[in-house]
Amino acid sequence: MSETAANGSALAGVKVIDLTRVLSGPYATQILADHGAEVIKVEPPLGDEVRDWGPPFHEDDASYFIGLNRNKRSIGIDLREDAGREILLRLLENADIVFENFKTGQMEKFGLGYEDDLKERFPKLIYCRISGYGADGPLGGFPGYDAVVQSAAGWFSVNGTTDSGPTRVGIPMVDMGTGLYSTIAMLMALHERERSGRGQFIDMTLYDCAVSLLHPYLANYLLSDKVPQITGNQHPNIAPYDKYPTKSGDIYIACGNNRQFRALCQVLGREELADDPRFKDNGDRSQNRDDLTDVLRQAMVNEDGEDLCARLLAKNVPAGAVNDIAQVMSHPHTEHRAMDARLDWYRGAGTPIKFSRTPGSLKTLPPKFGEHSREVLAAHDFSEDEIKSLMEDGTVVEERQR
């Protein structure tokens, strides 16, 4: 990541009050922070619980927290106290976005709900809420974590192998996908506000986002009325699109059209396969994928995987080794694409958003709990006496109360 002054960033001047915890919300606000938004992370006295989701740890903060909270400032506020809620209202006075993922109805109990409490007082405020299932409906109000929503939204049913049965997707993509959708939604709302001058409420749920990410299985079902089944490493609509063993390790090959399949056959010295009636077009290959898999596995089993991938890529056939995380982070292309971000002791994934004029940047380390409490209060015109009083009565917290 390049070091870029905040005023040269895409979101310079945007202020976000981040009340979110765990994954989807912090992931979204880190994207905003990477691109220059001022993000103030408001934590309860217990702190964001993922600070404890380790090992590994760095100075008592788990890697799970560290990976989601760079470029932010942290203040600890007890919103159960009237004085704590008053602090939040002062933080919101010049904020563009407030983002929360409390249990639905909690902000209303605090007297901080959008419709009844914030909409008129802060007419330009964009209020984004993430919940598991929303506030109403058959599942409304129930809690939702990534794996539970994966299960409820059908992800398990198409992931895994016939041996494993329905299986969780290892990467928490419901949470991360919801974070990405939420980022898009907030940027849309900011853009719309330029025309209308008005903020609005954004209702994001893990369930909605999980259903929206079911492609192509959902599209296949809606057109065919056939319930999709587990496909393992294969693609449900394309063949060959699978993992294959070689003498030096597994590789993955994806042929999306006849030209790529013909090039694959040429590289393997099996040109005749491209004219085999069973494999002539993608529809034929999909119908006869078991036969195709057997033939290709036999053709690759004695190949050197890295060399084969290089030859396939030279023919514009997508192919790559099945790498582990260590191999990914040591790969020269990871460095070339600035996807290994480092600052002091910190190391994380770089931003995948590559602007030509206003690149994202790694400016500050993930904050310790309450690290910026005094700084944030002072910046919002709290006097030294007010700050001292708020610290003494426990409304503002600098050390986690475990």
Among residues 146, 175, 242, 294, the one annotated as catalytic is 175
**Residue carrying structure tokens 């109990």:** 109
**Residue 307 a catalytic site member:** no
What span, in angstroms and rounded, lies between the C-alpha atoms of 335 and 1? 10
What's the CA gap between 111 and 109, in Å, rounded? 5
Q: What is the largest CA-CA distance in the chain?
A: 84
Q: Point out which residues pair with 319 in neighbouring strands.
A: 253
According to DSSP, residue 367 is labeled: P
**Are the CB atoms for 210 and 144 separated by under 8 Å?**
no
For 53-101, strand residue ranges (E) read 57-58, 61-62, 73-77, 97-100
User: Nearest 5°: phi and psi at 219?
Assistant: -60, -40
Among left, alpha and beta (phi > 0; psi -120 to 50; other), residue 377 is alpha
Burial class (CB in 10 A: 0-12, 13-18, 19+), 220: middle
Please report how many Cα atoms fall inside a 13 Å half-sphere around the Cα of residue 148, on the Cβ side: 8
Helix ranges (H only) for 99-205 are 106-109, 146-152, 155-158, 173-196
The residues annotated with a catalytic role in the active site are: 175
